[in-house]
Amino acid sequence: MKSLKNSILLALFFYTTFSFSQDYYLNDDFNNNSKKWYVGNNTSYDLKVFNGRYYYEYKNTEKNLLIFSPKFKITTSENFEMESSIQKISGVQDYGYGMFIQEENKDRLEITITSNGYYQINQKKNGTLTTIHKWTKSVDIKKGNYAVNTLKIKKDGTTISFYVNNKFQISKTIAGVSANSAGYVINRNQKISIDYIRIKKASTNSNNNINTTNTSLNETFSSNSNKWSINNNEFVTYDIKYGKYYLDHKKEKGGYSSTINNVIDETKDFEFETKIDKISGVTNYSYGIMWGKKSDSSFRFYITSNGYYKFVRNVKGKEEKIINWKLTSFINKNNGASNIIKIKKQNNRYLFYINGNYINESDFEPFYGNHIGFILFNQQKIAVDYLKVKQSQNSNNNNNTIVAKQMSVPVSDNFSNNNNGWILNNTDNYSAKINNGQFVLDRKVKGGIFFKNEINLNTQKDFILETSFTKQTGASNLTYGVTFGRKNSANEYSFFLSNTGQYLYRKYENNTYSAMIPWTQADAIKTNLYQENVLKIVKSNQLVRFYINNVYVNEFPFEGFFGNKIGFTVYDKQKVAVNYLRVKYQTTSHNNPPVIVISEPNVEEKRGFKIVQAKRITVRGTASDSDGIYEILINGIEANVAENGNFVANVPLKYGKNELIVSATDLKQATSTKKFTIKRKSNANFDTNSEVITNNGNQNINLGFGKYYALIIGVSDYQDESIDDLQGKPLRDAEKLRQVLTQQYNFNSQNVIVLKNPKDNEINRELFKLRKKITSKDNLLLFYAGHGVFQDEIGSWLPSNAIMEYEENLFSNSSLVDHFKAIKSKHTLLISDACFSGSIFKTRAVTKAPKSIQRKFELPSKKAITSGTLKTVPNESVFFKYLIKRLENNPNKYLSARKLFDMIEDPVINNSENKPQYGTIHGIGDEGGDFIFIKK
């Protein structure tokens, strides 16, 4: 989309003062030119009032043209609506035209649209024109020449909302808006005609405003009539003086608060606003406002004077994060700065503002109590200038507000309307709208968002929950799905998909993540954009079964729900349409498939994986079904089945991995399956999978292997006291690996870098250096040992300066992948003794590598070997123990990464709870080759 910047303003205006009706500042249907709009023509423009329209043609192929209205007066305290109907007649399709309202020689707000369906919001302040909402596509704009579009700007207090054809597009918080003229803007050569312009007074009872409602608290601290705590001891000093409330936290640790009782009607909209001066103290600890407090439970919104904010609930003294620390440029930083915090309850959502700028939002949750006040941590001094609490006089059940209502089973929502009260909105971060029988959810930034409703579902009964998604935009590895049984953001269940063909069943309990069913490949998932995927969750007795596109994929023991919220979760810059939501209780006509329990072999302890040396394996178990068992097959072999459902089968095994599929079918032909893996290990004393050398007997082949580089990272000691130190073990492992590589393999010592307890910028620096050194003939080994985390579907390493409270200084998988893309090595191998999940392995499995060393080297490779755990690394790593042992005792001249993995996989599984992984780092140039270790 072409920009309006660098244009030269050509302003044509004729200011006259007019008297308008009591309700209108300006109202003109252009039946004549009594308002004296500018008319005239030359080589650049042609302006005329004719036949009830104001024609406006701009002939210049550069610059833009502004036309101003007659004068009127709107003060900052007045609300207004400006509306105009504009027809595009001719001209370019991808440049803007639109309308504006302004204070002469001061500030201006404008909305412009294009004939190909985009809109943009600009603000001129102190002489500088800034885009405050970039070009965005809208289905509400009528396209092409001769299309008519109605534009509207609506002011409600500090909320400015923009509409196209009476459809809400976006709102912005802008303080101090006044006006004394309006007008139109055209960019480049276009012709439009204007049917009417109306600027009228607006009431203050709209959806976005509560400014004229009751003020339940207006604390300016001119006195202490509200009985705030006054104190002076070794821990804190609280005092009211000079019209401010001073709070001084004198200790290095802990938090202190001061609150008063202030009753708020939670069924209505409300607003808190406070101005806090940061006087002195540390900059990386928090202070802020707390509310809904009773005893040691409350809600809290924190900021720090280095630019972060966070929203939490404190439940009986334990913090639960709702919005974790996020950095924003809207916070005025450092000591001496003042910040205005505003929190609004609107449409059962919390909206958060800092210094008049919208920054985030979250679900509204009921209060614990009625106390409101302030909190600060760790050697800081603040002064509160004021605290205002405004309460709406109207409940949310007015004609202008859509309120989510509790749905009753059975539910069948085809989104032909919004009778169930889904919250619809359009912000810079997301949009939610009902359009053409779909609930369209657009997550515009990174991170996840939950679109909620409530349901009265009796989980003591068996039920069926079914929904359908059509993914419209976004990368294939992004996550979306249905969330249910939710109490709040810390307690919920989700059934997720990604368009890489995988699904996940996830539980959050008290902010702790559990992958009940980890990311699992399913052929039933449709992976292209605009293909429909149907998810179905069936609760039967004490099991929850999962279906994708009517194909049974898995099951898990049923656990009680945390709450009654239900809805849809979308992550990270993608647009997903929900086609329907259906929830019903099971009836006798519903046919549940059999329940399968495997008793032998015991694969549950090894996460569905077992290693044996036998040619055959006995599989035993039980299948139960009210309709009776028709047959049980194990890899196509029919099992012997007793009348009580007990079954047994003797199944042959091939060498290597065998996926065993137990399939049970009832009399009505409903089928369920259980899958697990058995690895048959060779009992021969020679290696049947050794790599082949094809060089006429010369073992010292020379294929131009290039130089071997290694970056070895060990992190044991952490600055953040909340992260457990690893007692030096990763540093020991890093040094041991350096010795083995430089003494036994073809790694020159000058090309091996060891980073001990590095910070994130030191890791970045070394990877940037490798970009300059490594050529397309060279090889790179990157090893990491230390802590790792997996949050919001993003895996990260924890450098020594990681701060988990803020999720600051983490080194994410995506950052590492970006570096690998820029390093032009022929072969790259990552060995990670930490969590390395997410995008790297959330795709297809690795294909079988060629046996020939020459062939493996000829094809570029980008591979990874990981310890395969989502937990922090133990002090004594079984994974590293066998990794270094196999490298030290390797008798072969050439050893591929795949072969190395095969040598460590079995002993790691047999001696730990970890299941190591070997795979391709996708999207950075792997062509099926492999990394080759060469012994000296």
641-696 pLDDT, tens digit per residue, is 999 999 999 999 988 888 898 999 998 888 888 888 888 877 654 444 444 444 44
Q: Which domain holds residue 639?
A: 595-680
> What is the per-residue pLDDT for 484?
97
Which tokens sit at 934?
A: 């060469």
User: Considering only CA atoms, which of 249, 181, 189 is closest in space to residue 25?
Assistant: 181
> What is the per-residue pLDDT for 872?
44
Distances (CA, A) of 936 to 219, 282, 740, 777, 895: 78, 55, 11, 19, 12
Residue 901 lies in a domain: yes
Whether 294 and 427 map to the same domain: the answer is no
Whether 578 and 636 map to the same domain: the answer is no
Asked if 614 and 681 count as a contact pair (C-beta separation under 8 A), the reply is no
The residue from 361, 391, 421 where one domain ends is 391
Residue 189 lies in a domain: yes
CATH code, 644: 2.60.40.10
CATH code, 838: 3.40.50.1460
> What is the per-residue pLDDT for 280?
94
Asked if 162 and 171 count as a contact pair (C-beta separation under 8 A), the reply is yes
Distances (CA, A) of 92 to 65, 192, 789: 15, 11, 51
> What is the per-residue pLDDT for 721?
74
Residue 402 lies in a domain: no
Whether 83 and 175 map to the same domain: the answer is yes
The residue from 201, 227, 254 where one domain ends is 201
Helix (H, G, I), strand (E, B) or coil at 45: strand
> What is the per-residue pLDDT for 692?
47
Residue 719 lies in a domain: yes
Domain count, the chain: 5
Residues facing residue 231 across a β-bridge: 238
Asked if 609 and 676 count as a contact pair (C-beta separation under 8 A), the reply is yes
Whether 579 and 602 map to the same domain: the answer is no
Whether 226 and 365 map to the same domain: the answer is yes
Whether 368 and 412 map to the same domain: the answer is no
Residue 702 lies in a domain: no
Whether 267 and 308 map to the same domain: the answer is yes
Whether 278 and 157 map to the same domain: the answer is no
Residue 206 lies in a domain: no
Contacts of 70 (CB under 8 A, 6+ apart): 14, 15, 16, 17, 18, 26, 35, 36, 37, 181
Whether 573 and 611 map to the same domain: the answer is no
Place of tokens 């943009």: 120
Whether 383 and 527 map to the same domain: the answer is no
Reported in sequence order, the residue ranges of 126-222 that DSSP labels E, i.e. its strands, are 128-137, 148-156, 159-164, 167-173, 181-187, 190-201, 214-219
Whether 717 and 628 map to the same domain: the answer is no
Residue numbers in the chain where pLDDT is lower than 70: 1-22, 203-215, 393-405, 603-610, 683-704, 790-793, 805-806, 835-857, 868-876, 913
The residue from 585, 614, 642 where one domain ends is 585
Residue 5 lies in a domain: no
Residue 788 lies in a domain: yes
* 3-class DSSP string for 598-618: EEECCCHHHCCEEEECCCEEE
pLDDT digits (tens, 9 = 90+) for 771-799: 999 999 999 999 999 888 766 667 788 89
Helix (H) or strand (E) run with residue 118 in it: strand 118-125
CATH code, 575: 2.60.120.560
Whether 193 and 317 map to the same domain: the answer is no
